[in-house]
Amino acid sequence: MAEPDQSVLAIEKLSKSFQNTAVLTNIDLAIAEGSFLVLVGPSGCGKSTLLNCIAGLEEPSSGRILIGGRDMTGVPPKDRDIAMVFQSYALYPRMSVAKNITFGMQVRGATRAEQKSALERVSGMLKIDHLLERRPAQLSGGQRQRVAMGRALVREPRLFLFDEPLSNLDAKLRVEMRAEIKRLHQRLGASIVYVTHDQTEAMSLATEVAVMEGGIIVQRGPPQEVYDYPVNTFVAGFIGSPAMNFIEGHIRKDGGAVRIEIPFDGKTMAVPAEHYPFVGSTEDGTKVILGIRPEYVTGRDRASGDEEVSLELVPTLVETNGFDQHVNLAFGPAEISGRFSPREQIEIGTPLPTRIDLSQMSVFDRKTGMRL
Partner 1 sequence: MTARGLLYLLLVVFVAYYMLPLFVMVITSLKDLDEIRAGSLMSPPDRVSLESWGTAWSSACAGILCEGLQPFFWNSVKMVVPAVLLSTLLGAVNGYALSQWRFRGANLIFALMLFGCFIPFQVVLLPMARTLGLLGLAGSLSGLVLVHVVYGLGFTTLFFRNFYVTVPTELVKAAKIDGAGFFTIFLRIFLPLSPPIIVVTVIWQFTQIWNDFLFGVSFSQAGTQPVTVALNNIVNATTGVKEYNVDMAAAIIAGLPTLIVYVIAGKYFIRGLTAGSVKG
Ligand X SMILES: Nc1ncnc2c1ncn2[C@@H]1O[C@H](COP(=O)(O)OP(=O)(O)OP(=O)(O)O)[C@@H](O)[C@H]1O
Q: Which of residues 156-175 bind ligand X (CB under 6 A)?
A: none
User: Considering CB distances under 5 to 8 angstroms, the limit depending on partner class, which of ligand X, partner 1, Mg ion, none binds residue 46?
Assistant: ligand X
151 binds partner 1 (CB under 8 A): yes
Residue with smaller CB distance to Mg ion, 90 or 188: 90
Instruction: Provide, rounded to whole angstroms, the least separation between the CB of residue 45 and ligand X.
Output: 4
Among 29-37, 43-51, 311-319, 351-359, which window interacts with ligand X (CB under 6 A)?
43-51
Residue with smaller CB distance to ligand X, 214 or 332: 214
User: Considering CB distances under 5 to 8 angstroms, the limit depending on partner class, which of ligand X, partner 1, Mg ion, none binds residue 94?
Assistant: partner 1
Contact call for residues 77 and 58 (beta carbons, < 8 A)? no
Instruction: Provide, rounded to whole angstroms, the least separation between the CB of residue 89 and ligand X.
Output: 15
Instruction: Provide, rounded to whole angstroms, the least separation between the CB of residue 219 and ligand X.
Output: 16
User: Considering CB distances under 5 to 8 angstroms, the limit depending on partner class, which of partner 1, Mg ion, ligand X, none binds residue 108?
Assistant: partner 1
- Binding ligand X by CB under 6 A: which of 9, 31, 36, 46? 46
- Binding ligand X by CB under 6 A: which of 3, 4, 20, 43? 43
Q: Which of residues 180-239 bind ligand X (CB under 6 A)?
A: 197
What string of H, E and C letters represents the secondary structure of the chain? CCCCCCCCEEEEEEEEEECCEEEEEEEEEEECCCCEEEEECCCCCCHHHHHHHHHCCCCCCEEEEEECCEECCCCCHHHCCEEEECCCCCCCCCCCHHHHHHHHHHHCCCCHHHHHHHHHHHHHHHCCHHHCCCCHHHCCHHHHHHHHHHHHHCCCCCEEEEECCCCCCCHHHHHHHHHHHHHHHHHHCCEEEEEECCHHHHHHHCCEEEEEECCEEEEEECHHHHHHCCCEHHHHHHCCCCCCEEEEEEEEEECCEEEEEEEECCEEEEEECCCCCCCCCCCCCCEEEEEECHHHEECCCCCCCCCEEEEEEEEEEEEECCCCEEEEEEECCEEEEEEECCCCCCCCCCCEEEEEECCCCEEEECCCCEEC
Residue with smaller CB distance to partner 1, 74 or 76: 76
Residue with smaller CB distance to partner 1, 138 or 368: 138
| Contact string 70-89 vs partner 1 (x = CB under 8 A) | ------xxx---xxx-xxx-
Q: By C-alpha distance, which of 182, 188, 132, 140 is closest to 162?
A: 182
18 binds ligand X (CB under 6 A): yes
Residue with smaller CB distance to ligand X, 138 or 241: 241
48 binds ligand X (CB under 6 A): yes
269 binds ligand X (CB under 6 A): no
User: Considering CB distances under 5 to 8 angstroms, the limit depending on partner class, which of Mg ion, ligand X, partner 1, none binds residue 2?
Assistant: none
Residue nearest ligand X, CB atom distance: 48
Residue with smaller CB distance to Mg ion, 48 or 298: 48
Contact call for residues 346 and 315 (beta carbons, < 8 A)? yes
User: Considering CB distances under 5 to 8 angstroms, the limit depending on partner class, which of Mg ion, ligand X, partner 1, none binds residue 23?
Assistant: ligand X
Euclidean distance between CA atoms 69 and 168, whole angstroms? 34
Nearby residues of 129 by Cβ (< 8 Å), 6 or more positions away: 120, 123
**Contact positions vs ligand X (CB under 6 A):** 18, 23, 43-49, 197
Contacts to partner 1 by CB under 8 A: 52, 55, 57, 76-78, 82-84, 86-88, 90, 92-95, 103-104, 107-108, 136-137, 151
